[in-house]
Amino acid sequence: MTINEKGFVLNDKTAWPYVGLGTIDLVGDKGTFEILNALNSGFRLLDTSTNYNNEGIVGEAVRRSKLHREEILVSSKLPGSHHDYDKAFIFLQESLRRAGLEYFDKYLIHWPNPDDGKYVEAWKALVDAQKQGLIRTIGVSNFEPDHLDDIINATGVTPATNQVERHPYFNNKRMVEENKKRGILTEAWSPFGRGYLNDVLENETIKEIAAKYDKTPAQIIINWNYKAGVMAIPKSADPVHQKENIEATDFDLSQEDIEKIDALDKGEDGRVEGQDPYEYHEYV
Ligand SMILES: NC(=O)c1ccc[n+]([C@@H]2O[C@H](COP(=O)([O-])OP(=O)(O)OC[C@H]3O[C@@H](n4cnc5c(N)ncnc54)[C@H](OP(=O)(O)O)[C@@H]3O)[C@@H](O)[C@H]2O)c1
């Protein structure tokens, strides 16, 4: 993974922006409109999943946008109920039909669900689906180092990204480093701690840093990810917030300020919903 002036170049040589749009809760016709607003503000990456119940409107926004399909990157995820090789393929085809898209630009195994022991099988399905052109870039989400090594050793194919929880109260530096060692880009989910479960946007240290740079707390957190070589995927339905979020990488936080934000980490207590990937299993 390398960084150029526009974004990240992944281990499969594809180029990705520094910031993408999380789409949890962007649903229905209102959601289509909110995603179109985000595209108009400059977002080019949409992060969806079957369990966000919005693959349909994400695809609808892509079609209704004045942008060409090739200009928009759509990323979705395989649920734990379909880790069997054959099931994974059928599920992916269904997901694409729901979205009304010919291919996903990126597709991730949503959770490893280690007790079921099928994530290697699921990874083999993604490797083959990529060869068939159904998905462009393949990656994982919430994978721990041993899960990463299992799929790499079984297939010789390293995921391009690993989407993990990361925000100032749970900075997950451990997984950022583990991903980096393997040439995998870290994507930060819930970069603002999901808004209501976690008050990072109200944190005094972050507010002080924001005032110093004449930026908003949200922009400071996105920039903190950018400076760490991490792609943030904040969700926002609000056009003002969306614009702020996409315009958050045109300045450089100082090392001192980065360290102040790093110091806000609360370890395991900082997770938004206690979702430890060794314990938490997701099926939808
Ligand atoms: N792979 C996984 O297991 C996983 C798990 C969770 C999430 N995700 C992905 O990560 C994305 C982001 O995470 P999330 O949706 O949990 O939460 P988040 O991005 O951490 O926070 C979203 C909250 O922040 C607010 N917000 C956004 N921009 C703001 C700004 N500039 N100023 C003030 N408030 C702002 C939003 O309100 P407004 O809408 O009003 O702006 C919303 O309440 C998801 O949508 C999803 O795509 C993946």
- Sorted by where each begins, the domain ranges of the chain are 2-267
For residue range 22-38, what is the model confidence (pLDDT) as tens digits?
999 999 999 999 999 99
Instruction: Specify the amino acid at residue 252.
Output: D
User: Whose alpha carbon is nearest atom 23 of ligand 1?
Assistant: 195
User: Which residue lies with its CA nearest to atom 5 of ligand 1?
Assistant: 189
Confidence of residue 195 (pLDDT cuts 50, 70, 90): confident
State the average pLDDT for the chain.
97
Can you tell me the mean pLDDT for 248-257?
Answer: 97
**pLDDT attached to residue 284:** 85
**Quick one: what percent of the chain has pLDDT higher than 90?**
95
Q: Could you give the percent of the chain with pLDDT greater than 70? A: 100
The structure tokens listed for 182 are: 């393997």
Q: How would residue 197 be classed by pLDDT, with cut points 50, 70 and 90? A: confident
Q: If you measure from the C-alpha of residue 191 to the centroid of ligand 1, how many angstroms do you get, rounded to a whole number?
A: 7
State in Å: Cα 126 to ligand 1 middle.
26
Q: Which atom of ligand 1 is nearest to the CA of 198?
A: 20
Pocket probe for ligand 1: among 43, 235, 245, 275, the residue whose CB has the most ligand atoms within 8 Å is: 235
pLDDT in tens, 142-159: 999 999 999 999 999 999
Q: What's the gap in Å between 127 CA and the centre of ligand 1?
A: 29
Ligand 1 center from residue 169 Cα (angstroms): 15
Q: Is the pLDDT of residue 4 over 80?
A: no
Question: Domain 2-267 class?
Answer: alpha beta
Closest alpha carbon to 201 in 176, 228, 187, 219:
219
**What pLDDT is stored for residue 14 in this prediction?**
97
Ligand 1 closest atom vs CA 141: 1
Catalytic option among 52, 107, 169, 226: 52
Ligand 1 pocket, CB under 6 A: 22-24, 47, 110, 141-142, 163, 189-195, 201, 216, 218, 233-238, 241, 244-245
* 2 pLDDT tier (thresholds 50, 70, 90): confident
Residue 46 Cα to ligand 1 middle (Å): 12
Beta carbons within 8 Å of 120's beta carbon, 6+ residues apart: 150, 151, 154, 155
52 is a catalytic site residue: yes
Range 79-90 average pLDDT: 97
